[in-house]
Amino acid sequence: MAIVTAADEKRVIDTAPKQLFIGGQWRESSSGATLDIEDPSTEDSLCSVADGTPADAVAALDAACDAAEDWAATPPRDRSEILRRSFELMNERADDLALLMTLEMGKPLSESRAEIVYAAEFIRWFSEQAVRIDGRFSMNPNGSGRLLTMKQPIGPCLLITPWNFPTAMGTRKIGPAVAAGCTMVVKPAQQTPLSMFALAQIMTEAGLPGGVLNVITSRKAGAVTEPLFDDPRLRKMSFTGSTPIGKKLMEQASKRLIKCSMELGGNAPFLVFDDADLDAAVEQAVIAKMRNIGESCVAANRFHVHESVADEFAARLTAKLTEMPVGRGTDDGVQVGPLIDGSQRDKVAGLVEDAVGKGAKVMTGGDRVGDKGYFYAPTVLSDISPDAELLREEIFGPVAPVATFADEADAIAAANSTEFGLVAYVFTRDIKRAFRVTEALDVGMLGLNRGLVSNAAAPFGGVKESGFGREGGPEGIEEYLSTKYVALDL
């Protein structure tokens, strides 16, 4: 049974902004073209939005550059208050924002609400950071003169975001950029632009001046962003998305040495030692695997469990995943929505087929669900062959492969045998082991006896091919500031 009415769905879609947002104005694409937005749970079209052109993207950068000087000179307290009002408006409108997100992205309404709260937390956190940007003053070690360092906004930014967390991946960038005094062009994923337009509308209502935040949507991401990389006015690019696209963008950014932040793919290991609290490990495994239908860069991608407890762990995880209701995100009690599109669903199905072909046993799931919508059943696989593709590839779906290890060295080697290094999860009750393993894992983040690490007050980011730069925490704003050193002869 639906927990929202068809009239509610119609209202949020009808009233959602659908045009490009440039210089504080909503406008159609310069080509007049539009882009269809699909409901992944029904495959029906929800609406269409403007399909921007390279000329529109340049107009957005023009607007960002026109606004840059005034915005950099706006008192930090004013920037902070605008962010604070945005945070409040997001929470006041959380129900409608969540419904819009569920319609375009598919996740259950409860998860969309949780994302709005999480996304708004970045705005609140950076409203608090805006007034805490400072520098340093020190004596030259040789005693002659003084050394002054100051922090200044880095300048106009290009922010590119994915579809899996349509609002939070935006606020992690927009919050610190606004706080630092930067202006920006945002390019959301083509599947989920409505959430980003809604955010731009809220921030404008909260008092953000025209031109500070500009939003461009397009079905041709590469073509619309390319001229921006060639433009000497662009000073910063922050990207969240897949590693292959991240590498491509790095090449483009290298032409003008544009400063980059890269939040890329993951392949998170979830290690369960024989001394772990198994109840807690299973409970947290469900969160680490199933949050966002598994479509998360920090999703547990592979479970490595000590051989003495692996069967028990797999059986308990199977029981939990088997009872998770699959369906449209607007339906009562649904915990697993559709995947974002047909190609993502086929990729997940292909990885499961590969693992099964190499000997994996299907404990539950293992198949598509229904004829309409991109649903895939929550799946647990055991007896995983070491050469199964899903141990190497980011699954991005509700599939949990359970592999085994014999000892600690074995577990660490398995966890680190990937080009990715975003996050790992470790379950043990032995404090010495906890620290040994934490220090040995090549990751930017680690959940110790926890299946969720995301927090606006903490630095989110990876190492190796999961990228560089940090979002959130005191580190987050540094990505949008440049340091100027002044040698003083007093």
The residues that are catalytic are 263, 297
Instruction: For residues 384 and 307, give the distance between their C-alpha atoms in angstroms, rounded to a whole number.
Output: 13
Looking only at the bridges linking them, the beta strands covering 25-27 and 236-240 are: unpaired
Closer of 42 and 252 to ligand NAP (Cβ): 252
Least separation in angstroms between CB 420 and ligand NAP: 9
Distances in Å between the Cα of 461 and the Cα atoms of 114, 169, 286, 392 are 20, 12, 22, 20
Least separation in angstroms between CB 71 and ligand NAP: 24
Distances in Å between the Cα of 156 and the Cα atoms of 37, 69, 260, 274, 411 are 29, 10, 13, 51, 44
Closer of 220 and 450 to ligand NAP (Cβ): 220
| Phi and psi torsions of 445, nearest 5° | -145, 155
Lookup: tokens for 490: 């007093």
Closer of 35 and 305 to ligand NAP (Cβ): 35
Closer of 276 and 339 to ligand NAP (Cβ): 339
Least separation in angstroms between CB 205 and ligand NAP: 25
Least separation in angstroms between CB 162 and ligand NAP: 3
Where do the DSSP E strands lie in 200-330?
Answer: 213-215, 236-240, 259-263, 268-272, 300-306
Instruction: For residues 398 and 469, give the distance between their C-alpha atoms in angstroms, rounded to a whole number.
Output: 28
Closer of 179 and 228 to ligand NAP (Cβ): 228
Contact 222, 28 (CB under 8 A): no
Instruction: For residues 132 and 111, give the distance between their C-alpha atoms in angstroms, rounded to a whole number.
Output: 32
| Phi and psi torsions of 378, nearest 5° | -55, 130
Q: Which residues are within 8 A (CB) of 417 and not within 5 positions of it... i.e. 6 or more apart? A: none
DSSP string of 151-178, one letter each residue: EEE---EEEE--SSSTTHHHHHHHHHHH
Least separation in angstroms between CB 187 and ligand NAP: 6
Please give the residue ranges that form the binding site for ligand NAP (CB under 6 A).
160-164, 169, 187-190, 221-222, 225, 240-242, 245, 248-249, 263-266, 297, 394, 422, 462, 466
Q: Where are the alpha helices (DSSP H) in 130-277?
A: 168-180, 193-205, 221-229, 243-254
Closer of 405 and 420 to ligand NAP (Cβ): 420
CA atoms within 13 A on the CB side of 168: 24
